[in-house]
Amino acid sequence: MAFAAVPVMFPQMQDALTQPERWNSNWENITRNIDRLEPSVLVDSLAVPFAAQPLRRDASLLEHQGILSNLCRTQALLTGAALTYFADANLEERWMKADPDLRGKHILIGLSNACSIARNLHDARVYCGRELTLSHLRSDGRTVLDLLNAVILPEVAMPKEPKLIPHSAWDAFAAAQARGSPNDSEKYALASILTLRTKLICHVIHATLNSFIGVELPKVAVAKYNKKNNPGEPFLGREFGQSVAENMLGVAGAKAQAKENKAAWKERQRGRTEYCSYGGCSKANDGSAKFARCKTCWDNMQREILYCSTECQKADWKPHHKSICGKPLTFEAVSKPPPPIPPRSMPAPQIGPAVGDHKRSPSLIVQIARLNLNPKLDYVTRIGTEETNLDFPDPEAQALFRQCREKAMTTGDKQSIAIMAHFICWMTLDNPRFQIAAIVEQLKKEYVFDELPRAIHEMQQRQNKDPFRRPPLLARMSPQNWVNFCKGMNVNRQVVLEL
């Protein structure tokens, strides 16, 4: 593969797993040139062939919507894995303490595995520049964690649309394009680039974390490529790539490489399969039955939309397929993934979504996930790998706690966090099952609030000044209800919390 503005060939995809060090070194040499390019050059490299190849345009647009939907699924899976590692494997601390060489070993595994999934992901590394260079990712542990935080979802569920990774140059170009009057080719090119670069980075992070924790690398299902319905190639036509290869390798070398690439492509195809187009199914074809095509799409557009059953075809009709069936596609028609299928038998979430610019930490997302799965719980504390559930039986105290908890978790309000943290610590002070220092460290991490100990101390001073010794959380509780609360909870009002 070659690139129009940089007359070099991309590293061979088949080398990613067999020769990862050499393959990565070749990529990083290219990256130094690519990083100096304006985003407009990269967008044009995709927009121009898209506009010039009407036979491929429909297939490209449909593929783009599939990639959007797949990215949503990828981010949901990555979020679930990352939250498990944060909660159960102490991922953040272990990663930050790891030697750069050890981090680099696992990052290279992540890079080579992610780029071996599919050709479009492999070549999408050109859109990531320095973000996906080994030296950049390994030197500071926060770099990978920051990328993870950029794509991790607020809950482990299929999102309506994916979270794209921010980047100053790409964000500025996207804003400039939005202010103009871009055509479908330009819209598609930019959206395809932003989606693919985010998808690649998600797969790199997922494989890196799995390798570091020591679990099996994620298996990524790839749909079969229908060559008949996808004439042309991404980025550039075959003729340009062949001319660059001949200039760099000679005619004989270019032929040998083309033969190697064709053999590698056939090998990758053997591991791919067809999938049901209904988002609520996505069943893989194991070969036991032939999936049915949508006849209208095939007859009118030679567009292959497959369903494993009549039931799935009917279920996909109103929410998604009806709007595009047998019709030429536009960018607007495929600019969002098909609506996700709501899960069955899930309890209504206790905690609302984050408000405004508030960004939840991965540890807080873990906490919220646990609370949403069990509405009876008020909080979950952790000591090592052991969890202890907090449940305040007094109805008024519980209502006040949950009101404060909601504000802390949805807005990140520091006062609400301090009031809630003080109450948790004060209520567990005399219980040998709890360790106050560990609880404070947990809350500091969840709310990214390093000054929390001082804030809790200020809350204790407020309690000491209260004429009835009520903690700030219960300052609105009537004196009689406060007395009843202390008796019912066996609380010693004279206890002073010291950190």
In degrees to the nearest 10, what's the CA dihedral of 223, 225, 229, 234? 110
**Rounded mean pLDDT of 360-364?**
88
Cβ-based neighbours of 214, under 8 Å, separated by 6 or more: none
**Rounded mean pLDDT of 425-452?**
91
CA 200 – CA 127 distance, rounded (Å): 10
Quick check: is 61 in a domain? yes
Quick check: is 355 in a domain? no
pLDDT exceeding 70 applies to what percent of the chain? 85
* 266 and 186 assigned to the same domain: yes
Band of residue 2 on the pLDDT scale cut at 50, 70, 90: very low
Terminal C-alpha separation, the chain: 61
Q: What is the pLDDT of residue 343?
A: 58
Convert the pLDDT of each residue in 250-302 to its tens digit.
Answer: 666 656 666 766 766 666 666 678 889 888 887 888 778 889 999 999 998 88
pTM of the model: 0.79
Convert the pLDDT of each residue in 376-424 to its tens digit.
Answer: 999 999 876 678 899 998 999 999 999 999 999 999 999 999 999 999 9
Convert the pLDDT of each residue in 212-246 to its tens digit.
Answer: 999 888 777 666 655 554 444 443 334 445 555 55
pLDDT exceeding 90 applies to what percent of the chain? 50
* 308 and 437 assigned to the same domain: no
Beta carbons of 450 and 444 less than 8 angstroms apart? yes
- Signed CA dihedral, 457, 462, 468, 473: sign only: negative
* 369 and 484 assigned to the same domain: yes
* 248 and 397 assigned to the same domain: no
**Rounded mean pLDDT of 183-207?**
95
Quick check: is 183 in a domain? yes
Band of residue 49 on the pLDDT scale cut at 50, 70, 90: confident
What residue numbers bound the domain in which 289 lies?
273-341
Quick check: is 356 in a domain? no
Domain C-terminal end among 251, 271, 291: 271
Number of domains the chain contains: 3
* 65 and 174 assigned to the same domain: yes
Q: What is the pLDDT of residue 242?
A: 55
Domain C-terminal end among 244, 271, 298: 271
In degrees to the nearest 10, what's the CA dihedral of 93, 96, 99, 101? 120
Across-strand partners of 388?
381
Q: What is the pLDDT of residue 431?
A: 81
Quick check: is 173 in a domain? yes
Quick check: is 494 in a domain? no
Quick check: is 351 in a domain? no
Residue 110's closest CA among 18, 23, 200?
Answer: 200
* 171 and 230 assigned to the same domain: yes
* 108 and 205 assigned to the same domain: yes
Does residue 22 register a pLDDT over 70?
A: yes
Q: What is the pLDDT of residue 24?
A: 95
Quick check: is 315 in a domain? yes
* 263 and 282 assigned to the same domain: no
Q: Which helix (H) or strand (E) holds 379?
A: strand 379-383
* 265 and 294 assigned to the same domain: no
* 221 and 299 assigned to the same domain: no
Band of residue 481 on the pLDDT scale cut at 50, 70, 90: very high
- Of 2 and 394, which is predicted with more confidence? 394
Identify the residue whose tokens are 């209504």. 348
- Of 316 and 345, which is predicted with more confidence? 316
* 204 and 278 assigned to the same domain: no
CA 469 – CA 464 distance, rounded (Å): 6
Q: What is the pLDDT of residue 226?
A: 58
Domain C-terminal end among 246, 271, 296: 271
* 74 and 214 assigned to the same domain: yes
Residue 210's closest CA among 118, 113, 120?
Answer: 113
Highest mean pLDDT among 6-10, 194-198, 289-293: 194-198
CA 120 – CA 129 distance, rounded (Å): 16
Does residue 132 register a pLDDT over 50?
A: yes
Q: What is the pLDDT of residue 214?
A: 93
Does residue 247 register a pLDDT over 60?
A: no
Beta carbons of 56 and 230 less than 8 angstroms apart? yes
